[in-house]
Amino acid sequence: MPFIIAIDGPAASGKGTIARALADRFGFHHLDTGLLYRATGAKGGDAVAAARTLTAADLTREGLRSAEAGQAASRIAAIPEVRDALVAFQRHFAAQEPGAVLDGRDIGTVICPDAPVKLYVVASDAVRAARRAAELGADPDEMLAQLRERDLRDSQRAAAPLRPAEDAVVLDTSALSIEAAVAAAIAHVERVRGA
């Protein structure tokens, strides 16, 4: 049975960096589930039809990491039919041997509620805005406003709102280096795996 690591949290908290590092460390497959929503939004047209016809090739489109793509993803992620269309894609991915790391907003609560490892990665609003601004070459104040708007939308949507699973371990990366955050995540996974 594949070992699943579910990582959730708001944008720019560090969850993607941690997820990629865990996948590399343990030899697991990695899926940034936000790319599914970004790619669905980038396809344009009817969001539900776009989600139902999403392919792996769609995940390699140019511009999926832009702030605009992130905002579009957050808007269409609130559409229950879009979420339903992408659940099977994500669960199929998670079932790959020897294991998978999925990061997003509802992995531990909806997609893989039985995952043995659930992390909820957070950081302060100011730290997240500074990270995203540095990544995109954007204004930190503008990034802060966008992140807060997105957090509000993601946490208040009716379908799979952003929240930690009841049994998730919360990892606050606000004051941690990348290395320290990754080390903390690896230590937790190893404890659960009994390594």
- Domain of 156, CATH number, reads 3.40.50.300
Taking only the tens place, the pLDDT of each residue in 98-127 is 999 999 999 999 999 999 999 999 999 999
Structural contact between residues 19 and 132, judged by C-beta atoms closer than 8 angstroms: no
Annotated ligand binding at 9? The verdict is yes
pLDDT of 166 > 90? The answer is yes
Annotated ligand binding at 118? The verdict is no
Taking only the tens place, the pLDDT of each residue in 33-68 is 989 999 999 988 999 999 999 988 899 989 898 878
> What's the mean per-residue pLDDT of the chain?
93
- For the record, the structure tokens of 166 come out as 């009841």
Annotated ligand binding at 17? The verdict is yes
Higher pLDDT, 128 or 68: 128
Structural contact between residues 8 and 120, judged by C-beta atoms closer than 8 angstroms: yes
Q: Tell me which residue range forms the domain holding 114.
A: 3-193
Q: In residues, how long is the chain?
A: 195
State the total domains in the chain. 1
Annotated ligand binding at 10? The verdict is yes
> At which residue do the structure tokens 């979420």 appear?
83
Annotated ligand binding at 180? The verdict is no
pLDDT of residue 21: 98
pTM beyond 0.85 = yes
Cα separation, 107 vs 5, whole angstroms: 9
